[in-house]
Amino acid sequence: MNTKIQKRKLGNSGLEVSAIGLGCMGMSFGYGPAADKKEMISLIRKAVEQGVTFFDTAEVYGPYTNEELVGEALAPFRNEVVIATKFGFNIQDGKMTGVDSRPEHIKKVVEESLKRLGTDVIDLYYQHRVDPNVPIEDVAGTVKDLISEGKVKYFGLSEAGASTIRRAHAVQPVAALQSEYSLWTRQHETEIIPTIEELGIGLVAFSPLGKGFLAGKIDENTKFAEGDIRNILPRYTEEARVANKALLDLLSQFAAKRNATPAQIALAWVLAQKPWIVPIPGTTKLHRLTENIGAASIELTEQELKEIEAASAHITITGNRYTEAMEKSTGL
């Protein structure tokens, strides 16, 4: 077993994690029926054995069941790992009913997350989505209080805009921004990445494999389970899958040269962009976990990065990453 994944620092906060983390959402939520709990506990523990120290969950995944799963799986290793979870949705009768980052709501749900995770401190606590009805200063101030009370170590934001990040950071330093970033989702390069670089904030890249597409095993004939979010995503229509094969072909060419897989090249590309970016691919399969972790030891050369950049510049990605309604409300 390779238990030595190199570590990365998420910006200037002092928060250090394995260069590749594990996104746990899909074990309980978002991609069809939840996976078997015992198998997922085993998978999370295998990740620890293979050197992963960074695990991502949220109260809304399930809802609630994913935090319980992650807490149980990591209990034996609690002091060796970093657990990130998120607040900011209102959950009624097991359904997400919009955002809620009112200070009193945050203070209530942090206690519930601590309990489900079976821990006395949350390492990284993200606002899951910006709440337009609550000033971000109030949110940052509330998390600042939780940090001073010892319930939270670091504050994070997810999918926030540049001015929101600046305003929050002025009240309580933001350790990490979690946003979607991959070879086929690059809109954050224009404004967000320069902003967080300037402020010394790390980037946690979710969906670094494009919700699975960049791993190369999904084509226009793939059928997704009922309840799988990809059934409704514009980028996953059959037509889009055919069009987007061009990016996969490019990854496959580089993978062949490096004796790697397309997924590993896609992850290595994310890692190569900045030393403070940490991708958190999710999986429910042990062979995929091992494959993803293997990407941490692939260092793309300057020349390879230039070639990927030049070739991908000619590829137009078909389909938005979310439906219009999801972009407006929550996304995932």
Q: Which residues are catalytic, by number?
A: 61
Q: Dihedral sign, CA of 119, 121, 123, 127?
A: positive
Distance between CA atoms of 238 and 222, rounded to whole angstroms? 9
Q: Are strands 89-92 and 95-99 parallel, antiparallel or unpaired?
A: antiparallel
Q: 10 Å Cβ neighbour count for 47?
A: 29
Token pair for residue 212?
Answer: 């699975």
Distance between CA atoms of 145 and 157, rounded to whole angstroms? 16
Torsion angle, CA of 85/62/110/279, rounded to 10 degrees?
10
Phi, psi dihedral angles at 157 (to 5 degrees)? -125, 155
Token pair for residue 135?
Answer: 């000033």
- Identify any residues that bridge with 165 across adjacent strands, giving them in sequence order: none
Distance between CA atoms of 30 and 329, rounded to whole angstroms? 16
Q: Are strands 7-9 and 16-18 parallel, antiparallel or unpaired?
A: antiparallel
